[in-house]
């Protein structure tokens, strides 16, 4: 039985794996059968073949084009997602600092939600000397706001190997509205942008490293993107790292090795990377980051204003100044209505609205692939639901 490569456009607000543009999936489906007329599917070719190398290089170049990445930084890809990402960051950045200074340093962590907390805990578990620069929950009582930098515990910057933060917390619906590290001169700033990469303009020169799992805003699960300052790829020998008491990263996650092999030291998932490249090409055709940021701001403004208009029905736990434009979290004042809200939403073909299991409530993720039309449909449903429950 033949099946057409079409679908009704979904109104899906899941936090990840997330929605992808239909035209990207259609192209990828054909390429999975026969890529560039080579007679093999994109998932069947060798990761070191000419066609695969072209995919890697094309994806790197399109990231550079979209984000205006300077020559001081390198782009590479690895298997895994955010969790493998923050694990690899701890060991690789510790080694890079040892190479630069000849001594071990301390990693600083800004904890503003679930994922930055997990990142800090993993660094400690691995044995990387780490300190908490800011714990929003301890300072505020909850992960509902980002404390001002004046309240942070600024470490001795002469001994700080890097400072890590999660730019957008998917579970808690918090996003940094600007770059808060001007008081950290000469310290490498590391950002997890798994859920908001390519959603807004960035000054890449301010970052030592940006890491992003692809499955939320740019592709399928299974691959992660790294934009790293080239000087951070210099590491001591394994013997020197061991002697300093720093744990070694597994070879498949050893940044200098991965970069030296053009992201193909081990078997990179080329099909998954190809989808990332198709997403980048689609974004470039639509107008790039400027276009996407304006659209994302419009979508978020529309949804937040609608929820704010019904304060007796909905509660928004995040301070307005740090509300995420990617993950809008909210709860119903009457939690007994939760299942009704979700069930009626699904009846209106609005899916993926259930909040993270650790916090409950609702979450509407407005990633790049979520259309303005989908948000307008969600807003219309929210208004109807709220009016009927006043």
**Contact yes or no for 226/75 (Cβ under 8 A):** yes
Per DSSP, 109 falls in state E
Annotated catalytic residue 299: no
Q: Where are the alpha helices (DSSP H) in the chain?
A: 22-33, 50-67, 82-101, 114-126, 136-140, 238-243, 255-260, 270-286, 288-308, 338-347, 372-388
* Closest C-alpha to 280, from 368, 364, 185, 166: 368
Annotated catalytic residue 152: no
| From 31, 145, 167, 192, the catalytic residue | 192
| From 117, 118, 200, 216, the catalytic residue | 216
Residue 347: CB atoms within 10 Å: 9
| From 115, 135, 145, 167, the catalytic residue | 115
* Closest C-alpha to 168, from 110, 127, 120, 226: 110
Cα end-to-end span (Å), the chain = 50
Annotated catalytic residue 216: yes
For the chain, the 3-state helix, strand and coil shares in percent, each to the nearest 5, are 45, 15, 40
Maximum CA extent, the chain: 68
- The C-alpha atoms of residue 353 and residue 336 are separated, in whole angstroms, by 16
List residues with catalytic annotation.
115, 192, 216
């Amino acid at each position: 039985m033949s099946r057409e490569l079409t679908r009704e456009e979904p109104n899906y607000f899941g936090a990840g794996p997330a929605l992808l543009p239909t035209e990207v999936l259609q192209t990828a489906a054909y390429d999975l059968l026969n890529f560039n007329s080579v007679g093999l599917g994109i998932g069947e070719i060798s990761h070191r073949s000419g066609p695969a190398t072209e995919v890697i290089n094309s994806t790197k170049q399109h990231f550079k084009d979209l984000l205006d990445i300077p020559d001081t930084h390198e782009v590479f890809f690895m298997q895994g997602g955010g969790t493998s990402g923050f694990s690899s960051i701890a060991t690789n950045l510790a080694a890079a600092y040892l190479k630069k200074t000849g001594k071990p340093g301390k990693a600083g962590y800004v904890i503003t939600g679930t994922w930055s907390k997990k990142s800090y805990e993993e660094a400690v578990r691995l044995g990387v000397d780490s300190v908490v620069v800011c714990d929003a929950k301890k300072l505020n009582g909850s992960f509902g706001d980002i404390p001002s930098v004046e309240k942070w515990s600024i470490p001795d910057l002469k001994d700080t190997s890097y400072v890590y933060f999660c730019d957008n917390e998917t579970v808690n619906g918090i996003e940094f509205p600007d770059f808060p590290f001007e008081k950290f001169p000469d310290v490498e700033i590391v950002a997890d942008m798994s859920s908001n990469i390519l959603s807004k303009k960035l000054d890449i020169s301010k970052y030592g490293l940006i890491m992003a799992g692809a499955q939320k805003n740019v592709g399928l699960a299974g691959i992660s993107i790294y934009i790293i300052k080239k000087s951070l790829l210099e590491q001591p020998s394994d013997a020197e790292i061991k002697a300093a008491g720093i744990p070694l990263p597994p070879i498949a996650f050893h940044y200098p090795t991965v970069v030296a092999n053009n992201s193909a030291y081990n078997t990179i998932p080329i099909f998954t990377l190809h989808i990332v490249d198709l997403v980048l090409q689609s974004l470039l055709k639509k107008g790039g980051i400027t276009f996407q940021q304006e659209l994302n701001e419009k979508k978020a403004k529309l949804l937040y204003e609608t929820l704010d208009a019904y304060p007796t029905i909905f509660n928004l736990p995040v301070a307005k100044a740090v509300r995420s434009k990617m993950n809008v979290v909210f709860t119903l004042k009457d939690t007994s209505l939760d299942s009704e809200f979700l069930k009626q939403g699904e009846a209106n073909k609005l899916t993926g609205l259930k909040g993270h299991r650790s916090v409950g409530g609702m979450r509407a993720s407005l990633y790049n692939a979520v259309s303005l039309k989908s948000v307008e449909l969600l807003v219309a449903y929210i208004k109807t639901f709220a009016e009927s429950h006043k």
